[in-house]
Amino acid sequence: MVAIPADILTKVIKKRPSDTHKGNYGRVLLIGGCENYGGAIIMATEGTLNSGAGLVAVATHSLNLSALHARDPEAMYIDWHDHDLPALIKKMDVVVCGPGLGLSNFARELMQMLCNTLTNEQTLVLDASGLDLIAEKRSLIPQHVGKIILTPHQMEWQRLSQIKIAFQTDSANLTALNELFPKKNAILVLKSNHTHVYCGDGSIFVNPLGNPGMATGGMGDTLAGIIGGFCAQFGNNLDSIMAAVYIHSLAGDQIARTDYVVRPTKVSNVLPQLMKKYAD
C-alpha cells in the first residue's frame, strides 16, 4: 500500500488547448435524486460540473428540476421516467448512478435498465443507493461496461461485500472486489478518514489528505461527481481516479483552514481554481 503521490494532479490535469470544444471534455449522465434526496444528485452534479466535464446531464425526479436549474443551469435535465433515457445513456462516456436514488421498486427498474443499456465503451460510477441495490440483488451488477468505479463508505461496503467493518482489511477487500467483479474491470474507492483505492490487479493506494470537517452529508455524493468529471475528460484510468480523490480532500483541507465544517458545495466551488493551479 502506498500513498497517492502529491504530483498526481500535475500528472493528470492538463492545460486545455485553444482549439477544443465541450465535446472534447466528456459527456456525463448522473442518475439519482428521489423525492426526499434531491440534494444528493445536485451536489454530485456540482462536483461533475466544477471538475470540468464538457457536457453534463441529470436524470432525476421531476420535483428536483427547479432546484437543479436554479443552482446549476449548465446541466441538462431529463425526467427519469422518460422513455428516451436509454437512448441518452448510450450517448454518454460516463454514468454516475446512485446519489439520492433510493431503494424503491422504480429505482430497481432503473438499475436493471442501466445494466441492459451500458456498453463496454462506457464507465459507470456507482455510489450510495446504487451500491445498496446491487448488495440486495447481485444480478444488478452490470456485466457489459468498460470500467466500474465503486465509491462506498464502510457501511455500504459491508452490505455489498459482507465483510464487517472491523474486518475490512486490505486483503479481504481485494478478495471481495475480485469475487464481485471477476473481469477485474472494477476499482473500489473505499471512503474513510483516509480513503483507500483498490484495484483488481492487487494495487492499493491511500489518500493522505482529508480532515474531520469533511464528515458532512453530501461529501460522498460530491466525490462521486468529481470522479465522473475526471474520468470523462482525463480517461477512466487509475491516475484520473486517484487525482479526483486527492483534489476532493485537498479542497476540503484548504477550506478547513478557516471553516470548522467543510460543506460539500464549498468543495465543488474551489475546484476550478485548484485545477487551474495544477494545470501545466
Listed as ranges, residues in the chain with pLDDT below 50 are none
Residue 273 has a pLDDT of: 97
Taking the complete model, does pTM exceed 0.95, yes or no? yes
Total structural domains within the chain? 1
b or e along 68-89 (b: 16 or more beta carbons within 10 Å of the residue's beta carbon)? beebbeebebbebeeeebeebb
pLDDT of residue 99: 98
Q: Which three cell numbers stand for residue 109?
A: 427498474
Q: What is the mean pLDDT of the chain?
A: 97
Q: Which of 87, 14, 13, 77 is nearest to 45 (CA)?
A: 77
Domain range for 180 is 2-278
pLDDT given for residue 255 in this prediction: 98
- pLDDT tens for 135-164 read 999 999 999 999 999 999 999 999 999 999
Query: What pLDDT score was predicted for residue 280?
Result: 76
Provide the CATH number for the domain around residue 77: 3.40.1190.20
